[in-house]
Amino acid sequence: MLESSLQFLRCVGCGSKLEPNVYKIGKEIEEGILECKKCSLEFPIIEKIPILWDDFSQYLSSRKTLGGKLFRLAKTTKLKKFLKSSLSKIDYVYDDRTVLEERWSVIYENSKSSKFYSVIKNNFDVIEQSRLVVEYGCSIGTVTSFLAESHDVVFGIDRSFAALRHAKQLYKNNLDYFVSDILSPVFGKLQFDLVLALNILELVEPIDLLNHVSKQVSSGYFVITDPYDFDRGANSVKKPLDETTLRTNLNNLGFKILPKTQTPSNIPWNLNLNSRATLNYEVDLVICKK
């Protein structure tokens, strides 16, 4: 975690500033605890990645295997003690997401050459250099790291610790990543010049995401893409959007859709699942501005 990121982060429980207890530091804070003095919540920093979950034990409850891995990754006695205490409070659920999140990290890594990413990057030429940028659902940071080359400060948010370990392998002094729920108030009332949400509408209620982003952009850009693949069984979102209703909701929130993305698009996004299987999507792109 970059020390410079501290000025932007807030407690996801009460919105107060966070105080760092640093256990190990190099170019970045490698291990430590971010503590909220007001509500006493504590957020661990492991492998340079802060886990900003309002209930850390609850985060691990569906990632039992990850909990053990984090304990082994911890280098300092203080962090191991924190993790041991957190692990002792866990009420494990049957579904362990660890293997799934690790598998998808590898899939995204093996699919970085998909045409989708080059098309998206080429469409950023209409967006001016921004001071503050955040990508929700950034995964391994393919687009986030690209944006850090031309924008001042860039953040990536994802639920997957495994994905962010991939992302953190590439160091840039203006780029940082945090494990968090997409809708958590990680940044308090901070305003962004550019927000991205690429292919995540099946992971979060779309209307909730749009409202969340709208509050963070008073004068800036929002880039959103999706294949509208909402058929997830019991895990499906309750109110999916399509090409038309997405644009209608953005307009209602005060966003003006750029002419080049007024018409729904079909950008190929090919995911290499393994040597014999590929998942092929056609993705819609919307770039809008307030």
Q: How would DSSP label each residue in 140-193?
A: T-HHHHHHTTTSSEEEEEES-HHHHHHHTTS--TTEEEEE--TTS-TTTT---S
Distance CA 222, CA 136 (A): 11
> 114-131 pLDDT, tens per residue?
999 999 999 999 998 999
- 243: confidence class by pLDDT, cuts 50, 70, 90: very high
Average pLDDT on 148-164 reads 97
Element (H, E) at 257: strand 256-257
Tell whether the model's pLDDT for residue 235 goes beyond 90.
no
- Cα pseudo-dihedral 256, 258, 263, 266, rounded to 10: -120
Q: What is the pLDDT of residue 258?
A: 97
Q: What is the pLDDT of residue 139?
A: 97
Q: What is the pLDDT of residue 210?
A: 98
- 218: confidence class by pLDDT, cuts 50, 70, 90: very high
Distance CA 62, CA 94 (A): 7
- 106: confidence class by pLDDT, cuts 50, 70, 90: very high
Q: What is the pLDDT of residue 290?
A: 96
Q: Which fold has domain 102-289?
A: Rossmann fold (3.40.50)
- 111: confidence class by pLDDT, cuts 50, 70, 90: very high
User: Could you give phi then psi for residue 197, rounded to 5 degrees?
Assistant: -145, 95
pTM of the model: 0.96
Distance CA 43, CA 53 (A): 7
Q: Where are the domains of the chain?
A: 3-96, 102-289
**Nearest CA-CA partner of 183 in 164, 211, 156:** 211
Read off the tokens for 258: 């750029």
Average pLDDT on 205-234 reads 95
- CA gyration radius for the chain? 19
> 10-53 pLDDT, tens per residue?
999 999 999 999 999 999 999 999 999 999 999 999 999 999 99
Contact criterion met (CB below 8 Å) for 246 and 225: no
Average pLDDT, the chain: 96
Percent of the chain at pLDDT exceeding 70: 100
Q: What is the pLDDT of residue 231?
A: 86
- Measured at the alpha carbon of residue 57, what is the angle toward residues 52 and 61, in degrees to the nearest 5? 115
